Amino acid sequence: MMEHTVASFDEDLNQVGGLIRDMGGLAGTMVADATRALTHSDNALAQRVVSDDAVMDARQRELDTRAIALIAKRQPMAHDLRAVVGAIRVAGDLERIGDLAKNIAKRVGAVGESAAPRELSHSIEAMADLVLEQIAAVTEEHDGPTLARLRDDDERIDEKYTSVFRELLTYMMEDPRNITPCTHLLFCAKNLERIGDHVTNIAENAYYVLTGEQLPPNRPKVDETAMSATAG
């Protein structure tokens, strides 16, 4: 990061950056805990994720307040302005990741301890691992090509979601008793896929902040579930 002649400006930017890192760490923790609560039927852990969402919301509000005050007081331009506006956008995506993790946690009780979810735990965990890998990577500092690759890596999450979707449909067709828990798991898998989309947004914003240019809009997007649902 470049240094400015007014040291307090750097301090303000560092505080905003620190909040983004804190939110990124909390987002990863919430997704990991929500997934573990889901696959282990841990209602206490699920409730903790729900509680953590209030912390995430508070941090976003603090970041917005600091960023708006920084713009009003410092009137940044060029890269500095992109950095502040980018931080506001990234905070919004991280807050939504927290919401989606909370939504997963709130379905833990409904899924229960039926056989199908236990057998599917490896697939859900594998998808969550991809998402967590993306969250951890995108909150670090990167060059432009790395950010572009992180954006395109969302294709792996989409492919995993399609696989989980088909697996869940198979369980529902094999035994009607699986319909209710598997429907909840479908929503959980979709939430993980949406988290991947928010990570993609973060990578795109970070690329713009760094380079001043937008990534091409035609990123890979693989979701065959719509075709699966309408086939036949």
Tell me the per-residue pLDDT of 173-185, one tens digit each, with 9 for 90 and over. 998 888 988 999 9
Cα Dmax for the chain: 68
Tell me what the mean pLDDT of segment 47-70 comes to.
96
0.85 exceeded by pTM? yes
**Where does residue 63 rank: exposed (0-12), middle (13-18), buried (19+ CB within 10 A)?**
buried
Phi-psi region of 212 (alpha: psi -120 to 50; beta: other; left: phi over 0): left
C-beta separation of 184 from 107 below 8 A:
yes
What's the pLDDT band for 224 if we cut at 50, 70, 90? Answer: low
pLDDT of res. 117:
63
* pLDDT at site 158: 95
Contacts of 53 by beta carbon, 8 Å cutoff, 6+ apart: 30, 98, 99, 101, 102
Measure CA of the first residue to CA of the last residue in the chain; give whole Å: 55
How confident is residue 218, by pLDDT bands cut at 50, 70 and 90? low
- Asked whether the predicted pLDDT for residue 230 surpasses 60, the reply is no
24 neighbors 135 (Cβ within 8 angstroms)? yes
Q: Considering only residues 20 and 117, tell me which one the structure prediction assigns the higher pLDDT.
A: 20
pLDDT for residue 78: 83
Per-residue pLDDT, averaged over 206-228, amounts to: 72
| All structural domains of the chain | 7-230 (1.20.58.220)
d(CA 68, CA 80): 13
Backbone angles phi, psi at 105, to 5 degrees: -60, -35
